[in-house]
Structure 1
Amino acid sequence: MVDVLNMSLFFILSRFLDNEFFFLDNDTKISKVAPNSWKKVPTSTFVLFFRVKFFVHDIALLLHKLTRHQYYLQLRKDILEDRLSCHEETGLYLGALALQAEYGDCMPEVYGRNYYRPDQYVAKSVMEKIALPYLKEELLRLHANNSTMSTDESELEFLKVT
């Protein structure tokens, strides 16, 4: 069972307005931040985001698998969208860890050499600094180096590096 207290310490609901995330207070009713159209037409879409509220220095504080996974997902997205920056080598290594987490062991003979889109694994800022052919070869090599790592191990290593 997920420890709700552990999750609520690190995550919070937020909404996205004018290219910025705004956290909702814990006691805020969703109906207070929802657009009028959502209140009137129950089938209209209204999106809130589950975001990291506090970043931790020690990932051992993330006690549960689901907490670590959600934390990993946000850090990965923040790096891809250049909200968090990293050196090119680190960016490539993180991309390879994400590939390992999603695909498992590198098997170009099964998937082909173009089994992923580089922009889904490497930040735009890193892609702008490295020639695409080299980037793809390096990601493939780094992904192969991570063979035998499970999804959980890959995500945990990603968190340790970030």
Structure 2
Amino acid sequence: MAFSYPEVGAVARGERPPGYEHFAHRATLGGSDHFATAVDDLLAWRMHSRSGVGVTPSAPEAAPGVVLVQRFRVGPVLLVAPVRILEVRVDADRAVLIYGTLRGHPEQGEEQFVIERHADGSVTLTISGFVRPAAWYARLAAPVSRYVQRLITRRYLRALRVRDPGSRR
């Protein structure tokens, strides 16, 4: 399956391609001791599944080249959104996952997830990237497409936050 946009790798290079909506959202996940759990949950697709996104990955953990087929409902419509992992980096205090859309995804572009442990002990998740409608129905209903993108991003940000021990994960 081919990428659905020509600027593959732009996020990793720090580029902001013209003609796309650029976004960045950040949330505090918890304290320093939550870093490893958050990274594991991101790389093992639990962030996605906890967000109400069905996931069918080609491998149990994120790695460059792995394909992730995401499924989610918008009202009665089931959307299928395939992506390919472009980059995974995990350091002592920072983890990065970047993926790009494949043909068949309703949008085109890249999304980057960065989990960081800061000097003050906080752990944050930043989701950033660039996107534009690809499918005819996404172009026709562009405001709805933007709303769905923001909704899922908010769910991703909540999915990695520290939970009470008794809560469902």
TM-score per shorter chain, which class?
A: under 0.3
TM-score (norm 1): 0.25
TM-score (norm 2): 0.24
Structure holding more strand per residue: 2
Structure holding more helix per residue: 1
